[in-house]
Structure 1
Amino acid sequence: MSESVLTVRGLVGGYSRKRPVLKEVDASVRPGELVGLLGLNGAGKSTLMKHIIGLLQPIGGTVEVCGHTLGSSGEAYRASFAFVPESPLLYDELSVWEHLEWTAMAYGVEEKTFRERAERLLDRFRMEKERTKFAGHLSKGMRQKVMLMCAFLARPPLYVIDEPFLGLDPLAIRALLEQMREEKEAGCGLIVSSHILSMLESYCDRYVVLHDGAVVASGTAEDVVAAAGTPPSGKVEQAFFRLVGGSGR
């Protein structure tokens, strides 16, 4: 089995040592795999992602990306992932194209590769006409597209994506799902958080279900269904509701 691009072991984390949000969380993402991170608001999904990208330091346990830890090899650690937050964060006085150029420079993407990927992403996300527009003049959905394009332009071993479907129109959602499928086929790993379980169910290889900061189920769809005690033919969505306190019926 391939070595994981993300390994989280026994992670205790959050903002306070006295009241940690995450409680002994284990999770992993392998190359060519999409892992769905599921949980209600406040379950700890965003806190886990902040630990993965290095915005929070573990109280206990470890986080490794491609075998690197933030403490031992910070530069290699940060170069191994791309993060797409729930709310787009852009420079209002830079154009769409300048954001792509800046990302390419930050990740060391060669000029020829950059132009090929950038043109393809602009076409896929229907942003060709907006390439010269300043980010401050874009709609929220377009700003989200820019964040996604910058991440996919870099093509790192790991993608960390938080609620990517919010603000996207149906065509953009389809483009995103197609792009994530291609990244998997290229050998990249993805961990994606979303409340739209039905959207993820056809694309995820495995899941991590968080509730009150702890992992209540993980593994394939069959593993999650079994952990919930729902019928073997049931869906992840039904299992999820039962695991987090809903009826699941």
Structure 2
Amino acid sequence: MSVLNVNIEQAGYSEEHRIIRDIVFQVRKGELIGLIGPNGAGKSTTIKSILGTIDYLEGSVCFENNQMKYAYIPEQPVFYEELTLWEHIQFVASVREWSENEMTQRVLPLLKTFRLEERVHELPVTFSKGMQQKLMIVLAMLNDPSLYIIDEPFVGLDPKAINDFLRLLNEKRQEGAAVLMTTHMLDTAERICDRIILLMDGEILTQGKIDDIHQKAGMDQGSLFDSFEVLMERST
């Protein structure tokens, strides 16, 4: 069953400044979809179109239902400057109407996993990029959504944090959550993604399972990076 259906005829910052066109794909329960492509390919515009923050869009973006929860983890973490880490968590809990006890039970394992439990009374704006990214992951997973929309999540994360993050994502997927992720880390994408969507010049160059991508590139062996290069060269 699809949790997200994307059928974008064209989108951009105005009708005269269209960035993407003919972007059609689905994200199904339990899937991890990798949205990849070079800089300027249209990945960010696609994400903004899905989130409803783009100025101009023709087409449709349909979630499973109007009550479906999704979480967005941006490439650049965003925080309230005057709130501590714990106050950010309390804000999420208040929106969800959790008791203090329920909030604590939910968040403490996540804080321990990402080694943030000693920093709860500090301001996230003073954290390193990696620590800020960890907090964005904690806040997203605290919401327990049906869909995670994640933009370049590995930037600034240390190897242990990356492994912990992927392990938690896999657990959420086993529970039925879906993931749409942009990344430049093609070796990681090849290892974790169920399907790949390759964007080029604002259009889908190809999409499918990893084996499908290799087949379309005419490569029996080689990495996703190799197939990526072949398909990109053919398109130019």
Give the structure-2-normalised TM-score: 0.92
Question: 2:161 is matched by which residue type in structure 1?
Answer: A
Q: What is the correspondence of 1:135-214 to structure 2 with a 5 Å cutoff? A: 135-214=124-203
Determine the C-alpha separation between the residues in 1 that align with 2:99 and 2:222: 46
Q: Which residue of 2 aligns with 1:50?
A: 48
Partner of 2:17: 19
Cα deviation, 1:165-199, whole Å, max 9, x if unaligned, reads 11111221111111111111111000010101112
Pick closer, same or farther for the CA change 1:57–1:106 going to 2, 3 Å.
farther
- Contact 1:206/1:220, CA 8 A, preserved across alignment: yes
Point out 4+ residue stretches in structure 1 off by more than 3 angstroms: 107-113
Question: Per-residue deviation at 1:65?
Answer: 1.5
Identity within the alignment, %: 37
Q: How does 1:107-126 map to 2 (within 5 A)?
A: 107-108=96-97, 112-126=101-115
Any idea what SS the aligned residue of 1:175 has? Answer: helix
Query: 5+ residue gaps in structure 1?
Result: 69-75
* Distance in 2 separating the partners of 1:29 and 1:151: 18
Residue aligning to 2:122: 133
Looking at structure 2, the residues matched to 110 and 48 of structure 1 have their Cα atoms a distance apart, in angstroms, of 37
CA 1:6 to 1:111, structure 2 compared with 1: closer, same or farther past 3 Å? farther
Aligned residue for 1:238?
Answer: 226
Equivalent residue pairs, number? 235
User: Post-superposition shift, 1:11?
Assistant: 3.6
Q: Where does residue 210 of structure 2 map in the other structure?
A: 221
Flag structure 2 segments of 5+ consecutive residues without an equivalent. none
1:82-97 mapped onto 2 (5 Å cutoff):
82-97=71-86
The 10-residue stretch of structure 1 (109-118 or 45-54) with the greater mean CA deviation from structure 2: 109-118
TM-score (norm 1): 0.88
Q: State the alpha-carbon separation in 1 of the partners of residues 26 and 82 from structure 2.
A: 38
Secondary structure in 1 matching 2:122? coil
Look up the equivalent residue of 1:207 and give its one-letter code.
I
CA apart distance, 1:34: 0.5
Change (3 A) 1:67 1:133: same
Q: Offset of 1:93 from its aligned partner?
A: 1.4
Q: Aligned in 2, Cα 1:57/1:65: closer, same or farther, shift over 3 Å?
A: farther
CA contact under 8 A between 1:42 and 1:212: conserved in structure 2?
yes
Q: Supply the RMSD in Å over aligned alpha carbons.
A: 1.9
CA spacing shift, 1:243–1:108, aligned 2, 3 Å: farther
